Amino acid sequence: MTHSSAIPVLYFHSVAPAPDPNWYKSKLTVSTRIFEQLLKYYSSHHYSFLCLDEYAELNNAMSTNTKAICLTFDDGYLDNFVHVFPLLKRYNAKATIFVSPEYVDPAEIVRPTMEDVWNGKCLVSDLESSGFLSWAEMRLMESSGLVDIQSHTMTHTKVFRDSTIRDFHNPGADWLYPIGNLFPERKPFYITDAVFPNLLPYGTPFFTESSALVTRRVSINLSFNQECISILEGTDWRNYSFSHAMSVVKKLYNKYTENGTLVDGTESVADYQTRVRDEIIRSKAIIEEKLSKEVKHICWPHGDYNQFCIDTAFGSGYRSVHAVPGKGPVPDRSFTRIGVTELKTMKFLSSVRTVFKTEAQRGAFPFSTVANMYSKFRSLVKKR
- Domain co-membership, 262 together with 297: no
- Domain co-membership, 48 together with 77: yes
Residue 381 falls within a domain, yes or no? no
End position of a domain, from candidates 229, 247, 266: 266
Which residues are within 8 A (CB) of 359 and not within 5 positions of it... i.e. 6 or more apart? 367, 368
How far is the C-alpha of 140 from the C-alpha of 132, rounded, in Å? 15
Q: What is the pLDDT of residue 146?
A: 98
- Domain co-membership, 137 together with 187: no
The angle at the Cα of 382, spanning 378 to 383, to the nearest 5 degrees, equals 120
- Domain co-membership, 292 together with 352: yes
- Domain co-membership, 145 together with 286: yes
State the amino acid at position 213 in one-letter form: L
Residue 383 falls within a domain, yes or no? no
- Domain co-membership, 92 together with 230: no
Q: Give the distance, in angstroms, between the CA of residue 334 and the centroid of all CA atoms in the same chain.
A: 17
- Domain co-membership, 17 together with 101: yes
Write the CATH number for 80. 3.20.20.370
- Domain co-membership, 288 together with 365: yes
Number of other CB atoms surrounding residue 270 within 10 Å: 8
Total domains in the fold of the chain: 2
- Domain co-membership, 229 together with 352: no
Residue 348 falls within a domain, yes or no? yes
Show contacts of 185-191: CB within 8 Å, 24+ apart. 187/102, 187/103, 188/102, 188/103, 188/104, 188/105, 188/106, 188/131, 188/132, 189/105, 189/131, 191/20, 191/22, 191/23, 191/130, 191/131, 191/132
Residue 2 falls within a domain, yes or no? no
Q: 157 near 129, Cβ under 8 Å? A: no
184-193 exposure pattern, b = at least 16 Cβ within 10 A, e = fewer: eeebbbbbee
Question: What ranges in 183-298 are assigned the alpha helix state H?
Answer: 222-231, 242-259, 269-291
How far is the C-alpha of 9 from the C-alpha of 16, rounded, in Å? 20
State the amino acid at position 97 in one-letter form: I
Give this prediction's pTM: 0.93
Number of other CB atoms surrounding residue 176 within 10 Å: 18
Q: 84 near 95, Cβ under 8 Å? A: yes
Backbone angles phi, psi at 134, to 5 degrees: -95, 165
Asked if the peptide bond before residue 366 counts as cis, ω within 30 degrees of 0, the response is yes
Q: What is the pLDDT of residue 197?
A: 97
Residue 128 falls within a domain, yes or no? yes
Q: What is the pLDDT of residue 3?
A: 43
How far is the C-alpha of 175 from the C-alpha of 52, rounded, in Å? 33
- Domain co-membership, 16 together with 148: yes
End position of a domain, from candidates 227, 248, 266: 266
Residue-range definition of the domain harbouring residue 204: 159-211+218-266
Spatial CA neighbour of 213 closest among 306, 286, 151: 306
End position of a domain, from candidates 229, 245, 266: 266
The string of pLDDT tens digits covering residues 81-106 is 999 999 999 999 999 999 999 999 99
- Domain co-membership, 253 together with 173: yes
Residue 340 falls within a domain, yes or no? yes
Residue 384 falls within a domain, yes or no? no
- Domain co-membership, 126 together with 100: yes
Residue 3 falls within a domain, yes or no? no
Q: Which residues of the chain have pLDDT under 50?
A: 2-4, 374, 377, 381
Spatial CA neighbour of 97 closest among 118, 107, 113, 83: 83
